Each structure stands twice: as structure tokens, then as C-alpha cells.
Amino acid sequence: MTGSDAGTIIAGCTALLLAACAGGEPRTSRPAESAPAASVADSARPADQPTVVFLGTSLTAGLGLDPDSAYPAVVQRLIDSAGRHFTVVNAGVSGESSAGALRRIDWILKSPPAVLVIETGANDGLRGQNPDSTRANIQAIIDRVRTTAPRTRIILAGMEAPPNLGLEYVRRFRTLFPDLARANHITLIPFLLYRVGGVDSLNQPDGIHPNAAGARIVAQNVWKVLEQVLP
């Protein structure tokens, strides 16, 4: 990662912190207990087609975007273009913490996906929660998947904490994602918002959530990893 990349990440995290202080993610894309909808509605898709489920926050839900512009929907189009037969399910909920994601995982695993992409922890960092707690919640999600759906492949999306919380906090938060990936032998997306966080032209006016152009870049960040993992 270059110096400019690091500066972009820091700028993006600072914007996230300011938004959190102002109340942060003010609305949800859907209730936490409601069924996640496929990011691309297509009645022609076989009912038994394997799924790729994105468990995430407003970044995944596509807050402020048309559903077809959220990055999971873009990933669906990339999957289709590659001739792979999988249905993407967007299970993003705005404002959700890693504890909330853990509470939902059993419900999501009622229909085990072929691949589960875990995007959580960003709101923990915004709220200054103990990184050890975030680590434990994500580990519990991974354990639940391994126990309930051992054939499901897991991808973990890395996130960054706001620099205003101090260098030690930022370090602990940043390292928890690669540490979990290594310990559990799962695939890591190093930073979900790489090349997007802190770039004004790629984010909505709130400076937090990617716009349609930013979501397309996020989708590419995900696809670089996902295309190697799809069974």
C-alpha cells in the first residue's frame, strides 16, 4: 500500500468518525429480522442455485443507492459475466455492529450459502468498542458457520478504525481482521473500501457511503477475491 493509499484510508476513517459523532447511519435499509433479498431480482434463476451471501452493514446494504447500484448487485453482474451460476443475496443492515451480525447468523444459515462474505466491525470501530469484543464476535460467527454449514466458504472483509481514536486502537483494530483470517484459514479482503474511502468523487455527500461509482470499485475489490473462492 502506498503513502497516498494510507492517506486516503485515514481521510475516509476521519469522515466516518465525524458522522458517528453526528449520529451516524441514520436509517436502515431493511429491518434486522427481515429476509435479505437477492441483490439482483431475477425470476429466471433456478431456486436451487447456490448463493453468495453478503452479511454486512450499510456499506453492503447500499445506503443511499438504488439497490441495483449497491456493490453486491454489481458483484452479481460480474458473476454473471464470468459465466458462474450463483445468486447473490444482500444481507446488509445499516448501523449494525458485529454483535448484531452474530445475532443474525443462525437465521442466515437456515439456508446455508456456498460462500459467506462477512463485512462487519466498521460500526464497532466508529463507536470505539473494544477490538477484542469485535474479534470475539467475528470469531463466534466463523465458529457458527463451521459448525452449522461446514461446506460454506468464508471471506472476511477487512476494515479500518478512525485515526482519532489513537494509534494503538487503530493498530489493534486493523490487525484483528488478518489475524482472524490466518487463525481460521479463511480468505481476506484486505480493505473493503480500498481506493474509495476518503475520495470525495467516489462517495455520497455524507463522505461515508460510496456512490454508484465508488460501489463499482468496491465490487472489484470483492470480485478479485471472490472469483478465486467460488466453488
> Please, what is the angle between helix 167-184 and helix 131-148, to 10°?
20
The strand pair at 153-157 and 187-189 is best described as: parallel
The answer for residues whose C-beta is within 8 angstroms of residue 128's C-beta and 6 or more apart is: 165, 169
> What does the block give as the cell for 22?
453526528
Closest CA to 96 of 51, 55, 131: 55
Which of 58, 94, 97, 98 is flagged as catalytic? 58
Catalytic residue (choose from 5, 68, 80, 206):
206
Residue 206: active-site member: yes
Taking alpha carbons only, the member of 210, 212, 214 closest to residue 16 is 210
CA-based nearest residue to 231, from 7, 50, 92: 50
Are 79 and 115 within 8 A, CB to CB?
Answer: no
Q: Catalytic residue at 58?
A: yes
- Distance between CA atoms of residues 177 and 173, nearest Å: 8
Query: Residues with catalytic annotation?
Result: 58, 206, 209
